[in-house]
Structure 1
């Protein structure tokens, strides 16, 4: 059985590796602003006298729209295919970055440019890129999704260095132009020539002027009311609230525990390396082991990291181990949700379900750091927040473990699930 699965996975890779490559580039492109905005705050503050809070308000506009519109974009991906949405998003992001280079001195111009960016960001979400990959891969889906989402790690390596060098050499305005040109050359050709999906191929096979085939997807009620949806959504939200609240507070957490700030920054840099390693490892294992079991193990990793911070304050070795463990959890989180969404709901409904859960993950990432800092302001300690992570991770692990067996997946990529309302009405 294992040999047959490996042969089938290799066949999938031979046919569809260009789609994975293009999708990886799309994910990397989507992180450009997240990994570069911090480097532009100081130049903007000096150029226009804007406060850091008002500058940061611009990028913050993207989160609420992503939360609200996540399910809508996901449904559009299912219906129209990800290629057109991804093309619009990629060209739109490059254009929006060029627009940012024209802002000032009025503060409203900065905020207005970020409103445009917030709209464009809807079309470069992970849902766009992963939905194409999930449709083409079945036996090699775990690794394919992992490599696709490694684009964020690629962006975290390239973008900060590129932004810093361009700002130092050309100034902040031309730096934005330079970044737009660089990512255009790196990613746009891949998306234009290699990025497609099963849904896009179906649309092209219909002769010109012929009636479009009926779009088949289980009723939304069927999907949203299923226990699998509730379990995946709540489990994903809980683990995102934990991991995405720890990551931005790593340096303050380590300095609170007694580690020098410079040393803490160096330790925090280990996060990116371990997240890529964790993502690839989980992707490889997902094609061979039961996903809910792997998810339950992965979401308990932040417990180990928290206990290391609590049990060995001021220890560089313990802090380094904690950051490496947390990086694995960070790398595994989105891969697991994407893979389990495809297995339990099928690729026909992938966009809607993954987009909906992605909105909750974004919410957890927005509220989690706020919770941690509120706890610290009240207790002058990170310990209460670290202890809170233990039950949250355990609840998430139980939800993953109780998902049960995968539903049967038909050749068209639809998961065979009973309607929970119909099942409830049937006699025992």
Structure 2
């Protein structure tokens, strides 16, 4: 397996990952914001209480991160995507039948969130990382653009909820996950070396006449090869986790509360959902653009730029008072958010290598999850107390700006091989 239709197979993996992540983002990361107000009305609950399930799911995802990463490293992305995709689709079907807030918590946390964590997000990001080194920025740009393309589904979900109700929409979302994730799981492969290939599609070992007995290792000897325990002993690991967590404070909360915020200032639900979807689609520019730029200059500097854009976008959102203000918010925030989504994984791979990428990435998720856990609940609580999102969005702007400044000074750890 060198190529498929004369294209290095790693690129097909990146495209398959993009497609799977687009559905995951469309119905889970971004799409759940469209379900937010109908669920709050259905169960007569506060925004803070409903935000709690999202925060707990992020906590759960963080705790499952090391486990999911290890399982993908151990059993490969194909098996885990089949298992997790089946779980996630089933979860949305069960969601359509819940009759209480408690049952909603159970289904969302134990079925949907688990399936998304171990079967969609982790396999779809670990596989492209393992197939690329020099072109990793572009490959991850393709894969993570699925998070932006998922925005296309958000207006569709918003229209469906208005037309047929949130329960029928949940059934359709579950079927979408099955139809897309399960077939594409069969495209996933663990590493190019398993098939006699080198990362980036350069030269296979069998075709390389200059390869020594350890030729494969010699060719990519410049790559870092950290184990989890080795990575945990480096200051870079901990500083990265904290800085990424500060960024996630804004990302997680804005994804959930953007639609309720826009509805609150007088924008119709369908339009608010469309704006959220456009935020995702425009983020693709950042995912590709900053992914490419990180191959040219230091990744940490590029990451700092994306964090600065998230900070600026959060500040602009705090001051949005009418629809035309969104023309300033959406491009600034979307490009920064998208670029950071790509570079978060590129940084981890650059600093710690492919050897235990899934496990190391999962462990870092478990630490930086404080941002995803606290952000949504904090925003919901602030709104419940003040009937305004302004203090929360300003807080997120400050946290992202602090992350950007700190990121500049986080150098890669000493290169470790073997």
TM-score range, shorter chain: 0.7 to 0.9
Report the Cα distance in structure 2 between the residues aligned to 1:174 and 1:367, rounded to whole angstroms.
31
Aligned to 1:117: 112
Report the Cα distance in structure 2 between the residues aligned to 1:12 and 1:139, rounded to whole angstroms.
20
The verdict on how the C-alpha distance between 1:315 and 1:86 changes in structure 2, with shifts beyond 3 A counting, is closer
Aligned to 2:240: 232
Worse-superposed segment, 34-43 or 11-20: 34-43
TM superposition score normalised by structure 2: 0.75
Report the Cα distance in structure 1 between the residues aligned to 2:100 and 2:311, rounded to whole angstroms.
46
The verdict on how the C-alpha distance between 1:26 and 1:394 changes in structure 2, with shifts beyond 3 A counting, is same
Worse-superposed segment, 136-145 or 282-291: 282-291
Worse-superposed segment, 221-230 or 51-60: 51-60
Task: Please list every run of 5 or more consecutive structure 2 residues that lacks an aligned counterpart in the other structure.
Answer: 197-223
- State the 1:64 CA deviation: 2.9
Aligned to 1:137: 132
Aligned to 1:294: 302
Report the Cα distance in structure 1 between the residues aligned to 2:311 and 2:95, rounded to whole angstroms.
41
Worse-superposed segment, 54-63 or 183-192: 54-63
Aligned to 1:197: 190
What pairs with 1:29-428 in structure 2 (closer than 5 Å)? 29-31=23-25, 32-37=27-32, 50-52=43-45, 62-101=57-96, 103=97, 110-114=104-108, 115-158=110-153, 160-161=155-156, 164-165=159-160, 168=163, 175-192=169-186, 194-198=187-191, 201=194, 218-250=226-258, 260-262=266-268, 265=272, 270-308=278-316, 314=321, 318-375=325-382, 384-389=391-396, 391-404=398-411, 408=415, 415-416=416-417
Root mean square deviation, CA, Å: 3.9
The verdict on how the C-alpha distance between 1:141 and 1:30 changes in structure 2, with shifts beyond 3 A counting, is same
Query: Given the alignment of the two structures, is residue 26 of structure 1 paired with residue 20 of structure 2, yes or no?
Result: yes
Correspondence for 2:11 among 17, 21, 26: 17
Task: Please list every run of 5 or more consecutive structure 1 residues that lacks an aligned counterpart in the other structure.
Answer: 1-10, 204-215, 409-414, 418-428
Is the 2:94–2:107 Cα contact (8 Å) retained in structure 1? Answer: yes
Report the Cα distance in structure 2 between the residues aligned to 1:383 and 1:178, rounded to whole angstroms.
35
TM superposition score normalised by structure 1: 0.74
Worse-superposed segment, 381-390 or 27-36: 381-390
- State the 1:125 CA deviation: 4.7
Report the Cα distance in structure 1 between the residues aligned to 2:54 and 2:399, rounded to whole angstroms.
29
Report the Cα distance in structure 1 between the residues aligned to 2:379 and 2:100, rounded to whole angstroms.
34
Task: Say which SS state the counterpart of residue 150 (structure 1) adopts.
Answer: helix
Report the Cα distance in structure 2 between the residues aligned to 1:230 and 1:12, rounded to whole angstroms.
42
Point out which structure has higher relative CO (alpha carbons under 8 A, 6+ apart).
2
- State the 1:331 CA deviation: 0.9
Is the 2:131–2:191 Cα contact (8 Å) retained in structure 1? Answer: yes
The verdict on how the C-alpha distance between 1:325 and 1:77 changes in structure 2, with shifts beyond 3 A counting, is same
Larger CA Rg, structure 1 vs 2 = 1
Aligned to 2:218: none
The verdict on how the C-alpha distance between 1:255 and 1:119 changes in structure 2, with shifts beyond 3 A counting, is closer
- Residues 309-347 of structure 1 deviation map (CA, whole Å, 9 limit, x = unaligned): 67x764765542133211112112221110000000001
The verdict on how the C-alpha distance between 1:394 and 1:162 changes in structure 2, with shifts beyond 3 A counting, is closer
Aligned to 1:212: none
Task: Say which SS state the counterpart of residue 300 (structure 1) adopts.
Answer: helix
